[in-house]
Amino acid sequence: MSDAPSSPDIAERKAKVRAEVLDRRAALTAAEREAAAQTLVDQIPALDFPEKPGLVAGFWPIRDEIDIRPLMTALAETGHRLALPVIAPQTRLVFREWSPGDTLRPARFGTFEPGEEAPECDPMILLVPLVAFDREGARLGYGKGHYDGAIARLSAIGPLTTVGVAFATQEVDIVPMEPHDRHLDAVLTEAGLLRFDTEPGEPDAPSVPG
């Protein structure tokens, strides 16, 4: 995580994109949200994780984020181990192991997280929440920098796979980026999976199971 402040121009552009996309996301109906969550499960083969099975960090949805809990349950049923994020002291994002049905405790921002009894771990596959994304793999979060810091830390350990998960309506033309912001390897929505080149440029076409 970088402590460098955003330039006023980029901060203003980020705030504008964030507000517009959050309004679009909030306008989705309950039926649209439920259908999208179930569609994610159908796309597990398209994810083609490098570790089979692997340790996958998901996230507990907050506000009106897409609900990836059915996806995480399905991943567990296919043999993947799971983890959830925990905000540690100094607002550092770490991960603790979790299985569907395990007890969670209330945490900051209205989410839930495993307790200290759950082992801390370093997952090399991250399902990442986001506010907005573009077709270069740029991600806009909530502005706290938690995932930028976690991605930087885990990338120093070994090869890391980052997959943003969102509704298709959260796509924008351009996400304003700063040097410390991290690009994603892919984004999964109800419309399919977008993979991105290592160098921002031409992403693969959406992969949608037949």
Instruction: Say if 62 falls within a structural domain.
Output: yes
Domain ranges, residue 175: 8-195
Instruction: Say if 209 falls within a structural domain.
Output: no
Instruction: Say if 78 falls within a structural domain.
Output: yes
Number of domains into which the chain is organized: 1
Instruction: Say if 53 falls within a structural domain.
Output: yes
pLDDT at 109: 74
pLDDT at 1: 34
Instruction: Say if 202 falls within a structural domain.
Output: no
Question: Which parts are annotated binding residues for substrate?
Answer: 65
pLDDT at 143: 81
Question: Which parts are annotated binding residues for ATP?
Answer: 14-18, 139-147
What are the distances in angstroms from CA 89 to CA 93, 103, 113? 9, 21, 14
Question: Which parts are annotated binding residues?
Answer: 14-18, 65, 139-147
The segments of the chain whose pLDDT lies below 50 read 1-5, 199-210
Residues 6+ apart with CB under 8 A from 81: 53, 54, 55, 56, 97, 99
Q: Which two tokens stand for residue 87?
A: 């905000």
Instruction: Say if 201 falls within a structural domain.
Output: no
- What CATH number does the domain containing 128 carry? 3.40.50.10420
Instruction: Say if 205 falls within a structural domain.
Output: no
As a whole number of angstroms, the distance between CA 135 and CA 54 comes to 26
Cα angle 191, 197, 201; round to 5: 90
pLDDT at 99: 94
pLDDT at 170: 98
Instruction: Say if 204 falls within a structural domain.
Output: no
